[in-house]
Structure 1
Amino acid sequence: MAKTRVVVVDDSALVRSLLSEIINRQPDMECVGAAADPYVAREMIRNTNPDVITLDVEMPRMDGIDFLGKLMRLRPTPVVMVSTLTERGADVTLRALELGAVDFVAKPKIGVADGLRQLAEEITDKVRIASKAHLKRLAVPVAGPSAGHGESAPARPAAPSSIGRLSTEKIVFIGASTGGTEATKEVLMQLPPDSPAVMITQHMPAGFTKSYAARLDGLCRIRVAEARDGERVLPGHAYIAPGGMHLSVERSGANYIARVQAGEPVNRHMPSVEVLFKSAARVVGPNALGIMLTGMGADGAKAMREMRDAGSYNFVQDEASCVVFGMPREAIAHGAAHEVLPLTQIAPKLIERLRSTAGMSINRV
């Protein structure tokens, strides 16, 4: 079987050496080049035609974000961002994901050598996933170095009309992983301010979900925030599972509340979609609507079937519009899906479903 060919782009000689070593130790991949800056990388990519690029954000002569924007316009190639900046500069990481990076790894601020060795499995897993990702050419002009400070934010879509009188019992549950930051944004930006509450588990490490929620809050008509343990779950609000914590829903008298708790990883993830969806099946039952978006693996697939068995109505993203058709494929295989749709159709169909069932709810006190 042909090996996955990887080009490493990083201004640190140590990091280039370590990443090359980590990649070359894998039987199914090889590092075909390592570049210290984007200009060297450009020639190297042209000559070696890699399957995946690992890219640092902060480099001399041209920063990684500018380079990524040019790359995705002219020669779309799967990219995994590997950078110290991504840990404290979550906004930069989110900008990279907007521009088409498949995923990211946050290398530690200190103890880089040991830290990268500990991250070897995560790095190589993400390179494997990236090598199979579906990419789309970036059509829009990319803003300059100030990108990510407002002027490059996507315009809101045309305002959807209000859904109408809805039961506050309804809750929408979203699960996503690789490619999911942009897919979730696509769904949420189409929701009107009077939509039901939305609870979201997106696989993301601690330190990133707060910035992600703030970014979405500035783009959407509903309010978006990181979930806080014990808070009421209200219509017109979206709640994102904090990185490194599980999110679930519970009943407290007449209200739904968010539960945010530490615990063991489930399906290797924390937060885990399985945890959120299981709570939806148990607590919300037929008043739940489930959405499974792009992502690697099978996290949440079984629990989404449990949601369906408990009476929920479920939407699953189709293969053509997924960055990685893993979690959606597994959800379909488990018989969890009522509708399998292109990403752009999920929010309109969700709104249509909500309007058709407006006023109908099943009390589960």
Structure 2
Amino acid sequence: MKIKVLIIDDSALIRSVLKEVINSQPDMEVVGTAPDPLIAREMIKELTPDVLTLDVEMPKMDGLNFLEKLMRLHPLPVVMISAYTEGGSSITFKALELGAVDFVTKPKLDISKNILENSNEITDKIRAAAKAKLKNTASFNITQSHTADAVLPSVSNAIISTEKIIIIGASTGGTEAIKEVLIQMPADCPAIVVTQHMPEAFTKSFAERLNSVCKITVKEAENNERILPGHAYIAPGHSHLLIRRSGVNYMTELSQAPPVNRHRPSVDVLFRSAANFAGKNAIGVILTGMGKDGAQGMLEMKQAGAYNFAQNEASCVVYGMPKEAVAAGGVDEIVVLQDISRKILAYISSQKSKTT
């Protein structure tokens, strides 16, 4: 059975180009297009689509109001369309909070050309949305694939330290999952370093949004800054984020090395750096996401002495990355999303008691 897609966008050009992209795939088809949510509402009843693509600014009813009503009355997987603007970023994150599965950035110029060039990103996200578990989560089209070896080699860590550090990776559905974990963290928790697959236009506003609701300080990571307790550092969308050592301190490092598992930033790269430079003092967390990025890196963390958590299938939007990490043997505990923060803090407390 093909994935049935309904396109909702006030631009006739975007509706036409999206329809061309989707219908070019053997496993999906556009069953209808609508210029506004009111028309879409009737088409949903008639056509029973599997996935909606939804614009955020439309006549008669904006996308957020429609999304809120849809998720309350007739939940369906939704992939949002958003522009590369700070305001658009805020709208996009609100949409994810309301229940959208993922988003695709809408270009300002050469719309038709850009959508066609990013057709794999769009169709991959529609496939993920079709499989997603609905709640009441950017990967780029890169054909060449690398491992974390393209960024840094795996080395044994001879540095002795007791400072704990929490390392988190996520993709589809991860924006809300990361918020769920970070919002429960106390102000004095160990430092947290996060890679979420996301375009660079969104990572700064994502960090700012988290900072506004968390007890800890959340920021977009910069190159060569000291990693401090009570802080979370979000990988910028243009670079891999790594940790390294400078004496007894953890430091950030940004890398423009090739994408790994088709992603930059890559979870495998962050996890590899944690295995190299934190070892047994790292706590790894892999959250909801499509694909396998992070599975090999989490195994390397475990082999270096880290203790690792994976989000369980029932609470994931897409059970891809955690499933692969479990299958690879790198996971110590599989935990429902709402309990991950508590489990991390309990583990850290237990380790402290062993050393006193």
Normalised by the length of structure 2, the TM-score is: 0.91
CA offsets per residue over residues 262-310 of structure 1, 9 Å max, x none? 1211000000000000000010000000000000000010110010010
Unaligned runs of 5+ in 1: 138-166
* Mapped pair 1:221 → 2:242: no
Matched, 1:112 2:106: no
Question: 1:37 maps to what in 2?
Answer: 36
Of all paired residues, the percent bearing the same amino acid is 59
Query: Aligned equivalents of 2:353 and 2:106: distance in 1?
Result: 49
Structure 1 stretch 87-96 or stretch 110-119: which is displaced more?
87-96
User: Deviation string for 1:7-64 (max 9, x for gaps)?
Assistant: 0000011111111111111111010000000000000011111000000111001111
Q: Distance in 1 between matches of 2:185 and 2:18?
A: 42
- Partner of 2:201, secondary structure, is coil
**CA drift at 1:112:** 0.6
The alignment partner of 1:123 has SS state of helix
Q: CA RMSD in A?
A: 1.3
Structure 2 counterpart of 1:188: 182
> Which of residues 304, 311, 322 is equivalent to 1:310?
304
Tell me, in whole angstroms, the C-alpha distance in 2 between the residues paired with 1:186 and 1:217. Answer: 13
CA contact (8 A) 1:168 1:196 kept: no
Q: Map residues 283-362 of structure 1 onto 2, 5 A cutoff.
A: 283-358=277-352
Deviation of residue 173 (structure 1)? 0.2
Long gaps (5+) in structure 2: 137-160
- Residue 255, structure 1, aligned to residue 249, structure 2: yes
* 2:140 match: none
Residue in structure 1 matched with residue 122 of structure 2 by the alignment: 123
Partner in structure 1 of residue 13 of structure 2: 14
The aligned amino acid for 1:71 is L
Q: Distance in 1 between matches of 2:289 and 2:196?
A: 9
Take 1:44 and 1:253, find their aligned partners in 2: how far apart are those partners? Answer: 62
1:272 aligns with 2:266: yes
Alpha-carbon distance in 2 for matches of 1:35, 1:181: 28
Moved over 3 A (4+): 85-88
Structure 1 letter corresponding to 2:72: R
Aligned partners of 1:86 and 1:106 also within 8 Å: no
Task: Tell me what 1:74 maps to.
Answer: 73
- Please say if residues 129 and 324 of structure 1, whose CA atoms lie closer than 8 Å, have aligned partners that are also in contact: yes
Compute the displacement of 1:216 (Å): 0.5
Offset, 1:354: 1.0
Deviations 1:209-265 (A, max 9, x none): 100100100111110000110000010000000012100000011211000121211
Q: 1:264 to 1:44 in 2, by over 3 A?
A: same
Q: What amino acid sits opposite 1:278 in the alignment?
A: R
Q: Are 1:50 and 2:58 counterparts?
A: no
Which whole-Å CA distance do the structure 2 matches of 1:246 and 1:307 have between them?
17
Distance 1:354 1:276 in 2: 20
Question: Which secondary structure does the structure 2 equivalent of 1:41 belong to?
Answer: helix
Return the TM-score normalized by structure 1: 0.89
- Cα distance in 1 for residues equivalent to 2:83 and 2:199: 14
SS of structure 2 residue aligned to 1:208: helix
Q: Is the 8 A contact 2:84 2:201 kept in 1?
A: no
Query: Hey, what's the Cα distance between the residues in 2 that align with 1:15 and 1:85?
Result: 16
Separation in 1, partners of 2:59, 2:338: 38
Q: 1:212 to 1:236 in 2, by over 3 A?
A: same
Matched residues in 1 for 2:21 and 2:306: separation?
44
In structure 1, distance between residues paired with 2:37 and 2:69: 10
Distance 1:131 1:10 in 2: 19
Which residue of 221, 226, 229 maps to 1:235? 229
Residue 62 (structure 1) aligned with residue 61 (structure 2)? yes
Aligned partner of residue 236 in structure 2, secondary structure: coil
Q: Does 1:133 align with 2:132?
A: yes
Judge conservation of contact 2:284–2:306 (CA < 8 Å) in 1.
yes
Aligned 8 A contact 1:168 1:234 in 2: no
